[in-house]
Amino acid sequence: MNIGFLASHTGSNMQAIIDACKSGALQANPAVVISNNSNSGAITQAKREGIPFYHLSQTTHPEQEKLDQAILDTLLKHDVDVVVLAGYMKKLGPKTLSHFKGAILNIHPALLPKFGGKGMYGIHTHEAVIEAKEKESGVTIHVVDAEYDTGPVIAQVKIPVLPNDTPETLQARVLELEHFFFPETLQRIVLGEIRLPRNQRLRVWFL
C-alpha cells in the first residue's frame, strides 16, 4: 500500500506512520509528502527519510482548480493508494476528492461527531472538550469528504478525561495515542480487517 501524505506543520503523525513502516509494524510504503507550507516540519522529515516531497499551495498555484489538479497529479505520479492527512489544514479540491473517494483518511483529536467542524483543531478541540465537562475523549480516524470532519468514521479509541486535566495535558495524552492508533488502523486496512467505503484499487488485498 502506497501512502501519500498531506501535512501543514510538524507532521508528527506522519513520522509515527513512517517509523511503523520502517519497523515492519505497518506493511506499507511512504510514497510522497505534499505540504502547503514550504517550511513545515513534514518537509524536513521527508528530506531526512528520503521520501519525495512537494510544496503545493496557493503560493505555487494561486488558482484553486490548478492547485487541486497539481495535488492529484502528484499523488497519481507516485502511485498512491491511500491519502493520509497528517495535520493538513486545507480543504481538498473536488478532483482529488473524487479520484480518491473513500481512500482519504484524517485523524481527529476527539470523538466525532462531537467537537468537529471548522476551527476544531489542535488545542481548540481539547479546550472545547474540557469546557463541555466531557468524561471521555479520544481519537477518531475518518474518511475525508468535502466538509470538515463529516466523513464516515472507520476507527475510534477512547480515553478518560481526568478531573485535573487541562487542555494541554489532555492534548498530550491524545497525541500520544494518535501516534500509536493511526499506524495500527492503517495496518488493519492492509490486512482487510477494516474496509474502506470505496477504494477499488485496494480490493485485491481483501480477496
Range of the domain at 6: 2-200
- Packing angle, helices 41-49 and 12-23, rounded to 10: 20
Helices then strands, each counted (H, E), the chain? 6, 7
Q: What's the CATH code of the domain at 24?
A: 3.40.50.170
Rounded CA-CA distance 165/132 in Å is: 13
55 assigned to active site = no
Report yes or no on 207 lying in a domain. no
pLDDT tens for each residue of 85-129: 998 988 899 999 999 999 999 999 999 999 999 889 899 999 999
pLDDT tens for each residue of 26-46: 999 999 999 999 999 999 999
pLDDT tens for each residue of 44-61: 999 999 999 999 999 999
Beta-ladder partners of 6: 34, 85
pLDDT given for residue 152 in this prediction: 93
Residue 174 scores a pLDDT above 80: yes
Average pLDDT value for residue range 157-169: 97
Report yes or no on 47 lying in a domain. yes
pLDDT tens for each residue of 128-137: 999 999 999 9
- Reading the block at residue 42, the C-alpha cell is 513534514
Rounded CA-CA distance 80/158 in Å is: 30
Report yes or no on 205 lying in a domain. no
Report yes or no on 63 lying in a domain. yes
Of 78, 108, 126, 142, the active-site residue reads 108
Q: At 204, is the pLDDT very low, low, confident or very high (cuts 50, 70, 90)?
A: very low
Q: At 197, is the pLDDT very low, low, confident or very high (cuts 50, 70, 90)?
A: confident
Report yes or no on 72 lying in a domain. yes
| Mean pLDDT across the chain | 93
Percent of the chain scored above 90 by pLDDT?
Answer: 86
- Give the CA distances from residue 140 to residues 4, 62, 70, 91, 180, in Å, rounded to whole numbers and listed in that order: 19, 32, 28, 18, 12
Q: How many domains does the chain have?
A: 1
Rounded CA-CA distance 34/85 in Å is: 10
Residue 142 scores a pLDDT above 50: yes
Average pLDDT value for residue range 72-79: 98
pLDDT tens for each residue of 176-188: 999 999 999 999 9
Contact partners, residue 23, CB within 8 Å, separation at least 6: none
Report yes or no on 129 lying in a domain. yes
Residue type present at position 50 = G
- In angstroms, the first-to-last Cα distance of the chain is 15
Report yes or no on 206 lying in a domain. no
Helices in the chain by DSSP H: which ranges? 12-23, 41-49, 64-77, 94-99, 123-131, 167-190
Contact partners, residue 63, CB within 8 Å, separation at least 6: none
Model-level pTM? 0.92
